[in-house]
Amino acid sequence: MPVYTVTVSTGSQWFAGTDDYIYITLIGTERCSERTLLDKPLYNDFERGAVDAYDVRVGEDLGDIVLVKIEKNKYWVQDDWYCRYITVKTPSGEYIEFPCFCWLVGDKEVVLRDGRAHLPQDDKISLLKQHRLKELDMRRKTYRWKEWQPGFPLSIDANRHSELPLDIQFDSEKGVDFILNYSKAIENLFVNSFMHMFQSSWSDIGDFEKIFVRIKNTISEYVMQHWKEDFMFGYQFLNGCNPVLIQKCTKLPNKFPVTHKMVSVSLEREMTLEEEIQAGNVYIVDYELLDGISANTTDPCTLQYLAAPICLLYKNAKNKILPIAIQLGQTPGEDTPIFLPTDGEYDWLLAKVWVRSADFQYHQTVTHLLRTHLITEVFAIAMYRQLPAVHPVYKLLIPHIRFTIAINTKAREQLICKCGIFDKANATGGGGHVQLIQKAMKSLTFRSLCFPDMIKSRGVDKKDELPTYFYRDDGYRVWEATKSFVSDVVHIYYTSDEMMQEDEEIQAFIKDVCSFGMQDFDHCEFPKSLKSREELAEYLTVVVFTASAQHAAVNFGQLYLGMYLDEHFIEKRVKAAMEKFRKELAEITNDIKKRNEGKRLPYYNMSPDKIPNSVAV
């Protein structure tokens, strides 16, 4: 009588184990096994983190094992179970791994394919084709599109985190981690002691320093000592939390009438302002997007204000970026003067503070929320709807969208909703943040998500012109390493462009992103189909890079780039590509560490060892 040895791995996260009944059915090309209860006498099966082995006896050989069906039935009370994988050892000694990586909730069954990635055209057996279609049909019913606000990218159809499928909710450890991090932030900021500072006007600029009394690290202390200085103000446009707006000034806009006479004292090369511009030494940051956005009026006792400034920056002889002119509105005139470094100390300082305030609003709402969180959610939902777990692109992307839908749902539930944190704390709260995203969507294109294109479009791509633009330099290297890895994976499974064109699932994924996620806006220019493997590699690089490196540049997470805890790929060629990717990332990390040695302002935001895999915070 043939015997198949089945190994079951239970997840190690909290509450992953179960006391419910677990049944297994092995489905082969010749026949199926009997539905078999997995149970050992006097043994506590399926404990958290356990790997348990069981024998399944059959009357005849089943042929090639193509599917494994797992069923969970209630024992006493419903007890959810997280299954990592099932391994089957056949009578001939062959080992077949069936990844699961999902929760079984209630009386549920799940049917698993073996761990090898397969394109839809690879499946010749009717049983496998039906399994693929059934999985996608179920997913499309579970992961539904919804418009949260007009003009936004579409999001998941769930009003609360608790309404999400359990597989994409935060697990218990992640939830506790959020609480601990929040408590730590409260402790660091002394919020209980200083909350009154945020609810009324400050009487002294020195009050600002009190907020950071408990934050002790070299960078924060250096910034606190130098934040008023022009070099620090300029440096932040290159390597601060919003290094995506600075662009080369090739011509002064009419709305910003800066003259040579105004700024001549700030120029160091015995050239006119126009000559400095032509020489490529002048840069500009324009917050035009904030013009006309409503300021927060939710608390009538605390008036809040917004500006839409324009800032002119100058690269001096030491290659430092310094502000030389600031206008706090988009329409020049008596009410919108141009502030200069030669003005009174506090006039100039307050002009810079207004620019930083505008930068904060833009960063939080556009750079961070829209262009990483909401865009990654679009990719994630389309992936779940159009790519089965056996598809190689699903396996590639799943680590990079981990918890993204969950954190975004939490944000819509608590942060950016009516009466949420934005309404209480941000100048764009009370609806301004919604207007800002609606406005920003009109300039969000697919090409603007491609890192090299984004850098080049702003005229800041040449290292010799901006030698201290570390965000750009590190970003280039991480982008190229990521693209190389993604391209390796793409070429393993698609041996020709025609194969990629004939993959109905990948084409459906691309179309779903554009036609539904981005609502088919004409201006977004997202592709609706792809014709070559190179196009697919670039597209997937955008997904991975946006969810990991780009998000890391403006926010930090926990599970770092290249570290894949769940082994969705089992093929040796892909594992080799992963190892090559990790080595390239390690080399980049080491080079960044060497460059940062001795620097008072080291830049680590794009260091691979600090880049989270996904948008999860």
CB-based burial of residue 197 (10 Å sphere; 0-12 exposed, 13-18 middle, 19+ buried)? middle
Tell me whether strands 81-89 and 3-10 are parallel, antiparallel or unpaired: antiparallel
80 is an annotated ligand-binding site residue? yes
Q: Are 400 and 547 in contact (CB under 8 A)?
A: yes
39 is an annotated ligand-binding site residue? yes
Q: Quick count: other Cβ atoms within 10 Å of Cβ 100?
A: 21
- Rounded to the nearest angstrom, the gap between the alpha carbon of residue 551 and the centroid of all alpha carbons in its chain is 5
Distances (CA, A) of 407 to 276, 365, 371, 403: 46, 15, 15, 6
Q: Are 31 and 63 in contact (CB under 8 A)?
A: yes
What are the phi and psi torsion angles at 119 (to 5°)?
Answer: -80, 160
Q: Which residues contact 135 (CB under 8 A, 6 or more apart)?
A: 388, 389
Instruction: Give the up-direction half-sphere exposure of residue 307: CA atoms within 13 A in the CB hemisphere.
Output: 22
User: CA 104, CA 71: separation in Å to the nearest integer?
Assistant: 8
Q: At what angle do helices 375-386 and 504-512 cross, to 10 degrees?
A: 150
Helix H or strand E encompassing 420: none
Give the largest Cα separation in the chain, rounded: 96
Tell me whether strands 21-28 and 36-37 are parallel, antiparallel or unpaired: antiparallel
CB-based burial of residue 216 (10 Å sphere; 0-12 exposed, 13-18 middle, 19+ buried)? exposed
557 is an annotated ligand-binding site residue? no
Cα–Cα nearest to 458, from 605, 275, 295, 243: 243
Q: Are 263 and 301 in contact (CB under 8 A)?
A: no
User: CA 123, CA 366: separation in Å to the nearest integer?
Assistant: 42
User: CA 329, CA 337: separation in Å to the nearest integer?
Assistant: 9
226 is an annotated ligand-binding site residue? no
- Rounded to the nearest angstrom, the gap between the alpha carbon of residue 439 and the centroid of all alpha carbons in its chain is 21
433 is an annotated ligand-binding site residue? no
Bridge partners of 88? Answer: 6, 96
3-state secondary structure of 445: coil
Can you read off the two tokens belonging to residue 409?
Answer: 């749902």
Which phi-psi region, left, alpha or beta, contains residue 37 (left: φ > 0; alpha: ψ -120 to 50)? beta
Length of the chain: 617
User: CA 336, CA 332: separation in Å to the nearest integer?
Assistant: 5
79 is an annotated ligand-binding site residue? yes
Tokens 């009026």 locate to 297
52 is an annotated ligand-binding site residue? no
Interior/surface letters 166-195, b for 16+ CB within 10 angstroms, e for the rest: eebbbbeebeeeeeeeeeeeeeebeeeeee
Bridge partners of 315? Answer: 321
Ranges of H-type helices in 199-259: 207-211, 218-226, 230-239
Residue ranges at the known binding site for Fe cation: 368, 373, 551
Binding residues: 17, 39, 79-80, 368, 373, 551
Residue numbering of the annotated binding site for Ca(2+) = 17, 39, 79-80
